[in-house]
Structure 1
Amino acid sequence: MSYAIIGFGRIGQALAHAFARKNIDVTVASRRPPEALAPQAQAIGPTILAKSLREALETDTIILAVPFEQHGEVAKALPDWTGKTIVDAMNSLAPLEEMDGLLSSVFAAKAFTGGRFVKAFNHLIATTLATDPVVEGGHRVVFLSSDDEGATAPVATLARELGFAPINLGKLNEGGTLVHARGRVWGPLIFQDVFKKEP
């Protein structure tokens, strides 16, 4: 399985730190050229590989860590997203009427034709997400939600490999509402730093 993080701001860099801790290769890309990202990527770790957006989109699993309003621009980079798993680590402050009254992930998923869309890694602030998720015998929880049950399992596997404890909340319009920003109303699990003890 190959991975990419699109967006190299605070959330993108926090996720890169998670990959680096476990020596897992991940491509990072943004609107900036790879050479502009390379020094920061190398400073995080040798498994963090700054590449072009085109190269990043060749991976199997793509984590969206761009500002929500830029997701459409990323989606246009491929005519068909079949075979790709898209992990939505974004949050939106846009009014619901700007998203046809839909949850942000449901709205964003429509732009990625054929892709498998999973909401994950969005509920923690970047400074928390960047720290080691293993603390005193427990693992920091990340919440997952998707309308594609088959897509959730590999993202949960990735979360475990990164040291997190994944919890599946179910479909986006059910448990997913707990971790969504909806206009100015935030889901009750947003910013909740929860740990799961190992049995």
Structure 2
Amino acid sequence: MSIGIIGAGAQGASIARMLAKSGIAATLANRRGPASLAGLVEELGPTIAAGTVAEAAAKDLVIVAVRWAALGEALGGLPAWNGRIVVDATNPVSFLDADSPERQDESNPLAAFGIKIIDLGGRPSSQVFRDHVPGARVVRAFNHISAEDLQSPDTEGGKRVLFFSGDDAAAKAQVRRLVEAAGFAPVDLGPLDIGAPLVALPVGPLAAGRFVMA
């Protein structure tokens, strides 16, 4: 199974590091092109290659780890997904600049943390995400765990739990195997529209926890 990662910011790069540590091959891409990733892929070693977004999107399993506001730009114009697996590792938040007046917005309880929840009109983010990847089998995973924890699946007491959810059993089985290969304890939260909101940062009831399975 070939793997692509779209997004090389904090989360995407951390996912690539996680795979590299386990010897799992992947193609990493961002909107700036392969040349901008030369230093990172050299650091990560031979299993991670830089590619274009189209090259990463052509893999059997594609992890999308871009900022929510960049989804349309990152995924627009790509060829048909044709039933391939797309892992939603995004969260519907925007990040506020340090000097933004919105950092002082008292109506936003997360303003002090530099985060603002994006209003999706009452729709779960998983539904909105699916609109960007028509024809894909979407699984939600890797969005609720910090970059630091992605690098350390083994911790005192056992293995870190990594939640996932989706509507296609075969697609979830592939993601489960990937999670296990990376050293984590996979926990299936059921269908996408039920499981995904549970781990949606920053307000999902399971999103803030650092769960460990003995």
TM-score by length of 2: 0.83
Moved more, 137-146 or 118-127: 137-146
Paired position in structure 2 for 1:126: 147
Residue 191 in structure 1 maps to residue 191 in structure 2: no
Q: How does 1:112-191 map to 2 (within 5 A)?
A: 112-129=133-150, 131-136=151-156, 138-181=158-201, 186-191=203-208
CA offset at residue 100 of structure 1? 3.5
Residue 56 in structure 1 maps to residue 56 in structure 2: yes
CA distance in 1, matches of 2:194, 2:55: 35
Tell me, yes or no, if the aligned pair for 1:72 and 1:108 is still in contact at 8 Å.
no
CA distance in 1, matches of 2:153, 2:191: 25
**What are the superposed Cα offsets for residues 136-176 of structure 1, whole Å, 9 maximum, x if unpaired?**
46211110011333321111111001111110001123233
Tell me, yes or no, if the aligned pair for 1:105 and 1:172 is still in contact at 8 Å.
yes
Paired position in structure 2 for 1:86: 86
Paired position in structure 2 for 1:13: 13
**What are the superposed Cα offsets for residues 21-77 of structure 1, whole Å, 9 maximum, x if unpaired?**
111111000011201101111112221111111211221111011001212223323
Query: What one-letter code is carried by the residue in structure 2 that aligns with 1:120?
Result: A
Query: What one-letter code is carried by the residue in structure 2 that aligns with 1:155?
Result: V
RMSD over equivalenced CA pairs, Å: 1.6
Q: Which has the larger radius of gyration?
A: 2
Distance 1:19 1:95, change over 3 A: closer
Query: What one-letter code is carried by the residue in structure 2 that aligns with 1:143?
Result: F
Q: Any gaps of 5 or more consecutive residues in structure 2?
A: 94-116
Tell me, yes or no, if the aligned pair for 2:179 and 2:185 is still in contact at 8 Å.
yes
Identity %: 40
CA offset at residue 124 of structure 1? 1.2
Paired position in structure 1 for 2:69: 69
CA distance in 2, matches of 1:106, 1:149: 18
